[in-house]
Structure 1
Amino acid sequence: MNIKAFIQLMRPANLVTAVADVWAGAAIAGAIPPAFDWRSFLTLSAATVGLYGGGVVFNDVFDAQLDAVERPERPIPSGQVSIEAAIFQGTVLHLLGIGAASLCSLESGIIAAAIAILTLSYDRFAKHDAILGPLNMGLCRGLNLLLGVSLIPELLSDYYAVGFLPIIFIAAITMISRGEVHGGHSRTMLFAGILYAVVEIAQLTFGYMQGHLLEALPLVLIHAFMVFKPLLTAYQNPIGPNIGKAVKAGVLSLIIMNAAWCMAFGAWPLGLATLLLLPFSLQLAKWFAVT
């Protein structure tokens, strides 16, 4: 059994960004260490690993025939992992994610189940649609942020609107990722840049409203530099490799964006802890593909 191939199916560097979503959501709910439920916090962190991991495994299951042509080095088309084994892996990860979230609260379990359903709908149907694909993937991330907010379930009604911002950001990444193999269009990069800017301005606005603008500002600026530099290169020359770098930067920058959310809501301990996830994710990105 090729353990590394099974790990590769889960996109480990991407999993870290999913954990960062939950931490940011917890910060938005007002969970500032040490005064909050550590057990539920860690359980929700584990739940998102199962949900995201299961989603990307099923992505490769449904794309097996396409990957055999475009990405033959991936675990399934290369024969390192069978379709049956991948289906089992994805199913177990999803069930573990829903189960872990349900241990925290009914609301957390419902959100987790919705994420699992949305990941499957994206993998099987929506990803090939120019509008539904980005929207579906964005919904997964938006709900993932709210999964963190569900650490304090009664606050979900107060902060559900924040979940729309990851939808915008992830929709932009998903939109430009369509050109990773065959290249894309400059206008797509331009539109993605506008969506990125909308999210960053919103973060600064929330920081101002919460009285923590100065804490959030440096991280928002770092995030902007991280995503706009490769995006500009892809805009100037929208070939596959340049777009791939822009997509990778967008995915990994989620950690910075989530740390900015923590700072915007005054949860600097969680913000610093989230930042520490970045070098870990970057190291994983050297060992495993980021898509």
Structure 2
Amino acid sequence: MAKLKPYLQLMRPANLVTAISDVLAGVSIALLFVPDGSTLDGSVLIALIIATVGLYGGGVVFNDVFDAELDARERPERPIPSGRVSIRSAAGLGSILFLMGVMAAGTVGMLPSGIALAIVVMCLVYDKWAKHHAIAGPLAMGLCRGLNLLLGLGYSLLALDQVWFLAVVPVIYIAAVTTISRGEVHGGQRMPLYFSALLYGVVVACIVAFGVHYQSSILAVGMVLPFILFVFPPLVKAIRTLEAGDVRKSVKHGVIGLIFMNAAWTAAAGMWTLTFATLLLFPLSIWLAKLFAVT
């Protein structure tokens, strides 16, 4: 287990759970466009979950591969700079995870397979180049999450055709979180944090509008409240103090808060079984976050 732990640390297990919630949200929305939306094909859902675990896992592993030199200065305790995992081994793990993700998506269909390949490309673009750019970084990371929602929407080709634009919402959300994360090491600045708060508000508005349009139910859109209560208070504190520790906490809540955002999507779609399943991911992610770093 001791030899396995640094490899698990590279994969950010708590974050992998949030990626699963992306797929559950996408599938929930897709079920609105399936003739018998109450019938869920478990084998397709499992394949999409395996796909997102592989794709997200590969992305975060390669993030550390490309950041090895920087981490040696700023975060020497991480698996690669500490010498517990070689760059070559980490790259091999990331490649295997990417392959697993693409192959699993391929069992669902050609279009999900194409989305999976797009995720691989976007992850590598972000890891290698975009994350060092003030605008390209948040955009590229957001596109990774947006494509992940599309992967779940791949459950129904009709859903992909009709509501593909919903993938913009995770782009906005992750752009907010990524903007906040720029102050993790040296502390934050107020204007970027205010901008992230504005983006959070846009995300809430989009989910509420979707729920009202498709369900016209207060209960269906009520799941945005746990999301709001989870992500906004840490951000408000970070805006007030600008301290690196508070910024890191806000980022952590932003990442794990994806589960509440996706639970809000499933509720807005009226898929209560998947809403419950998504919410169950929260305690799992919190437990994993205590064992492995989120950022």
TM-score normalised by structure 1 residue count: 0.98
Contact 1:57–1:89 (CA<8 Å) still a contact in 2? Answer: yes
1:102 paired with 2:103, answer no
1:178 paired with 2:182, answer yes
1:156 paired with 2:157, answer no
**Structure 1 CA distance for aligned equivalents of residues 232 and 91 of structure 2:** 36
**Structure 2 CA distance for aligned equivalents of residues 153 and 40 of structure 1:** 13
**Which residue of the partner structure matches residue 55 of structure 1?**
59
Contact 1:210–1:264 (CA<8 Å) still a contact in 2? Answer: yes
Contact 2:62–2:124 (CA<8 Å) still a contact in 1? Answer: yes
1:248 paired with 2:260, answer no
**Which residue of the partner structure matches residue 274 of structure 1?**
278
Q: What is the 5 A alignment of 1:31-180?
A: 35-180=39-184
* Offset at residue 214 of structure 1 (A): 1.6
Residue identity matched to 1:23 = L
What SS does the aligned partner of 1:276 have? helix
Structural RMSD (CA): 1.2
What SS does the aligned partner of 2:81 have? coil
In structure 2, runs of 5+ residues without a counterpart are none
Contact 2:31–2:38 (CA<8 Å) still a contact in 1? Answer: no
* Offset at residue 238 of structure 1 (A): 1.0
* Offset at residue 72 of structure 1 (A): 0.6
Residue identity matched to 2:80 = I
**Structure 1 CA distance for aligned equivalents of residues 6 and 40 of structure 2:** 37
**Structure 2 CA distance for aligned equivalents of residues 277 and 215 of structure 1:** 21
Contact 1:122–1:136 (CA<8 Å) still a contact in 2? Answer: yes
Contact 1:212–1:263 (CA<8 Å) still a contact in 2? Answer: no
* Offset at residue 222 of structure 1 (A): 1.2
**Structure 2 CA distance for aligned equivalents of residues 217 and 258 of structure 1:** 12
**Structure 2 CA distance for aligned equivalents of residues 213 and 248 of structure 1:** 31
TM-score normalised by structure 2 residue count: 0.96
* Offset at residue 34 of structure 1 (A): 5.5
Q: How many residues align?
A: 291
* Offset at residue 283 of structure 1 (A): 0.3
Contact 1:98–1:113 (CA<8 Å) still a contact in 2? Answer: yes
Percentage of identical aligned residues: 51
**Structure 1 CA distance for aligned equivalents of residues 219 and 37 of structure 2:** 17
